[in-house]
Structure 1
Amino acid sequence: MASRRIAIIEDHPLMLRALSSNLALHLPYTEFIYQGKSISDALTAIDVAGCDLALLDLDLGDGIPPIQNLEKLLASGTPVLIVSALAEQFLVRQALTNGASGFISKNADESTLIDAVTSIISGENYMSADIATILLSDKTDPGLSAQEKQALSLYASGLKLDAVARSMNLSRSSASEYIQRARKKYLKVGINLPTKTDLYRQAQKDGLLP
């Protein structure tokens, strides 16, 4: 049987040893091409040896946005299984939307880990039951306040910031703050609205604009 080439990118030594030990025990034909916390070193190892699967912790403590690390691994052509304690709804959705083949929490048992690894190497996607529950219970309502809704809808409708402020009897800075708060709340539920066009479309979708 051909060996499975696996990279583990994890910054906690105990977790790193636990993952590699469990995989070595249950998947005897596993070759670990990299074990450590450096994305750049992992990519070098992948470039040299090839890789069937990378296990990635989202929080490596390297100051790099988690999704950026994921994207770097995916750019190498390597399937990625997220194994992370970070299981907020927007992060799970963001990771899967950006191309991760699976997501399990660090609380997952050995059988879940093995199922995830074998499934992804076989070309399937995988999500542990607890992560699936998070997504099923996920809500995309950002919970905007009345002022945030008004500022967003006025701005998205085409008004300039000064006009929004006048319409709401606010200072320009206060109007801007309401709009930025709305953007941040949307981002927390996985909806990125960087442009005015994005705001307009989302406001229409949410019934804030006709």
Structure 2
Amino acid sequence: MEQGTHPIRILIADDHPMMRDGLRSAITLETDMEVVGEAIDGNEAIALFKTFRPDVTLMDLQMPNVDGLQAITAIRQFAPEASIIVFTVYPGDARVTQALTLGATSYLLKSASRQDIIVAIRAAAEGRQIIAKEISADLANHRGTAGLTVRELSVLRLVKSGMSNRAIADSLFVSEDTIKSHMKSILSKLGASDRTHAVTIAVKRGFLDSL
């Protein structure tokens, strides 16, 4: 680190102790970085961000109480200039697009190498975006494809729970023919062969929570 410069101040938000330990160990090896706080859920991430105002936040998506997407939204409302790196095991173009739309700076998978993480932190501190190569490829593959509507997502979540078309129609107070129409649209948009295939694709792409 050059004389007169300050280290990059980093907040880690992840509910897994071993992951936090690993990130902290990797970061502390760098002379131009320091960990200023560690959060175990989204609520704590928001509170610690407001306390420490870190230069970069490493944010897991799946955390108890308040998840990473909710925390990103709250932090960006408080500090629009915040640099937030999503660091997660979950790929999927829909999930990535949502995170970036909410204000995430970069998106890395937890399979990333230590060097990739360090590079992404330095880039985020400089206002540059880093997207994992495999995620960039996934985004490119689905660019221009139609997304699912809010209603279609509601239907697909109920399909995932094991409900029949009739049960879904009763639950949403619509006709069974309406649900069949929604399913036809969902299958077409996802390129799925049947209901089960549609759920599998939707989970993989990040439209739904994990199976």
TM-score range, shorter chain: 0.5 to 0.7
- Pick the structure with greater CA Rg: 1
How many Å separate the matches in 2 of 1:183 and 1:4? 47
Secondary structure of the structure 1 residue equivalent to 2:142 = coil
Tell me, yes or no, if the aligned pair for 1:80 and 1:102 is still in contact at 8 Å: yes
Pairing 1:112–2:116 present: yes
| Partner AA of 1:51 in structure 2 | P
Pairing 1:52–2:37 present: no
Secondary structure of the structure 2 residue equivalent to 1:54 = strand
How many Å separate the matches in 2 of 1:190 and 1:109? 23
Aligned position for 1:33 = 36
How many Å separate the matches in 2 of 1:3 and 1:16? 19
> How far 1:183 moved relative to its partner?
7.8
Secondary structure of the structure 1 residue equivalent to 2:175 = helix
> How far 1:173 moved relative to its partner?
1.6
> How far 1:101 moved relative to its partner?
0.5
Query: Structure 1, residues 42-62: CA drift from partner, whole Å, max 9, x if none?
Result: 222222222111110011133
Tell me, yes or no, if the aligned pair for 1:93 and 1:190 is still in contact at 8 Å: no
> How far 1:98 moved relative to its partner?
2.0
> How far 1:65 moved relative to its partner?
5.3
> How far 1:133 moved relative to its partner?
1.6
Instruction: Give % identity.
Output: 22
Aligned position for 2:64 = 61
> How far 1:97 moved relative to its partner?
2.0
Aligned position for 1:79 = 83
Aligned equivalent of 1:175, options 177, 186, 195? 177
How many Å separate the matches in 2 of 1:76 and 1:184? 36
Secondary structure of the structure 2 residue equivalent to 1:137 = helix
What is the TM-score with the length of structure 2 in the denominator?
Answer: 0.67
Structure 1 unmatched ranges of 5 or more: 149-171, 192-210
Aligned pair count reads 164
Alpha-carbon distance change, 97 to 173 in structure 1, aligned in 2, over 3 angstroms: same
Structure 2 unmatched ranges of 5 or more: 153-173, 191-201
Query: Structure 1, residues 155-179: CA drift from partner, whole Å, max 9, x if none?
Result: xxxxxxxxxxxxxxxxx52133235
> How far 1:182 moved relative to its partner?
6.5
Tell me, yes or no, if the aligned pair for 1:24 and 1:30 is still in contact at 8 Å: yes
How many Å separate the matches in 1 of 2:175 and 2:34? 56
How many Å separate the matches in 2 of 1:141 and 1:38? 33
